[in-house]
Amino acid sequence: MENNFQFAERMATIQPSFIREILKAADNESVISFAGGLPNAEYFPEQALAELASRILTERPQDVLQYGQSEGETELRQHICDQYRQRHRVDVPVENILITNGSQQAFDLIGKVLLDEGDKVIIESPGYLGAIQSLMIYRPQFLPVPIGQNGLNLDAFETALSADPKLVYSVPNFQNPTGFSYNAETREAMANLIRDKSCLIIEDDPYGEIRFEGEAEPSFYHYLPEQTLLLGSFSKIIAPGLRLGWMVAPSPVMQKLIVAKQAADLHTSRLSQHLILAFLKDERFEPHIRRLCKAYEQRCRLMGEKLDELFAGEVLRSHPQGGMFMWLAFAKNIDTMELFREASRLGMVFVPGQPFYTNQGGSHCARLNFSCASPAQIDRGLALLHQAFRTISIISP
């Protein structure tokens, strides 16, 4: 039968996630994968969540299994407010918090509420592929600004602001894909440049609690509470399968977001919300975070040391102070798509740099995830990467 389906025009330029396609190939247990942005399942708090879920379903089943308010459970939103005050020294009103199905849903809601076709959006270059793909559905014009080890290039950022963008998207803590973090000077300078402009800055912070070096810098909300959208997630620190995140927005924006949320799914799972809240208040939560940070730090250090040993003088790498990713820039004229194909043939996969750019950059770069691989897999996987690199170097002019 001939396919005569008429799809919406907006879908014509949307492609499947390159990373998701790589993960399909990595399903083979013999393949060592540094490709995914997954938390390590070994550190899911399975026992604690099982016990808490049983208790919740025994004590208040009719509450958690019923429809709920679109904004999210008040207790959970209040707990998030308290954490912002205690850990980040900012006061966020509870009514300015919306619970979402992971922070990924926040991108979609933001696009629905704020973006018309052709609106300009400043993004980091390289930037988070999930945000690029989600916002791309609303057909904005992306304004890529280079990111370095201290954050966005301020000269390029100021130039991009002159184009009158609606949004600025940033991951200031342990950025995906680079692992870079914005320093305090960059954050304050960006806030001063944005202040009083008709633009909002999105501060996406899924990795902020996974810190194993340094001190936290002030949030953009500290400088610009009326122009900042804060995005948070429990996926990386507890479990992504629960699909729970949140968004903080100024009151006029929040009113529109709630309407969009109601139209999308009515509300986020009440069971997931109460389960997350119970674990956040449980005595096992803080030890869980410390254990997670320690494990990821060990893997990050091992990956960095092994890269320095194998690729001395041939690769520049980031030095993450937290999070889940390390960024490589090859000194030689190496096409990392070609390197990926050779490494995949040998039994390891990573993500080439190109998908993280909207302006055709990154052909000599790559992202490695260090959270999911065991120390033995890191050692073996990087040896295979170096073997693939040597093969490509011999073939390349």
Q: Which two tokens stand for residue 133?
A: 């793909």
Q: Are 226 and 196 in contact (CB under 8 A)?
A: no
Q: Which two tokens stand for residue 81?
A: 């407010």
Please name the residues in contact with 181: beta carbons below 8 A apart, sequence gap of 6 or more. Answer: 150, 151, 172, 173, 174, 175, 214, 217, 320, 321, 322
Alpha carbon distance 210, 240 (integer Å):
15
User: What are the domain boundaries of the chain?
Assistant: 13-45+286-395, 47-280
Closest to 352 measured CA to CA, from 107, 179, 129, 144: 129
Q: Does domain 47-280 have CATH number 3.40.50.300?
A: no
8-state DSSP, 117:
T
DSSP bridge partners of 229: 202
List strands edge to edge, sheet with 365-369. Answer: 315-317, 325-330, 365-369, 351-352
pTM beyond 0.85: the answer is: yes
- What per-residue confidence (pLDDT) applies to 395? 52
Q: Is the dihedral of CA 335, 337, 341, 343 positive or negative?
A: positive
Q: Name the class of domain 13-45+286-395.
A: alpha beta
Is-cis flag, bond preceding 126, omega within 30? yes
pLDDT tens track of the chain, all 397 residues? 567 788 888 777 776 766 666 666 556 778 999 998 889 999 999 999 999 999 999 999 999 999 999 999 999 999 999 999 999 999 999 999 999 999 999 999 999 999 999 999 999 999 999 999 999 999 999 999 999 999 999 999 999 999 999 999 999 999 999 999 999 999 999 999 999 899 999 999 999 999 999 999 999 999 999 999 999 999 999 999 999 999 999 999 999 999 999 999 999 999 999 999 999 999 999 999 999 999 999 999 999 999 999 999 999 999 999 999 999 999 888 999 999 999 999 999 999 999 999 988 899 999 999 999 999 999 999 999 999 999 987 655 4
Please name the residues in contact with 369: beta carbons below 8 A apart, sequence gap of 6 or more. Answer: 33, 34, 35, 36, 37, 38, 324, 325, 326, 350
Q: Are 278 and 52 in contact (CB under 8 A)?
A: yes
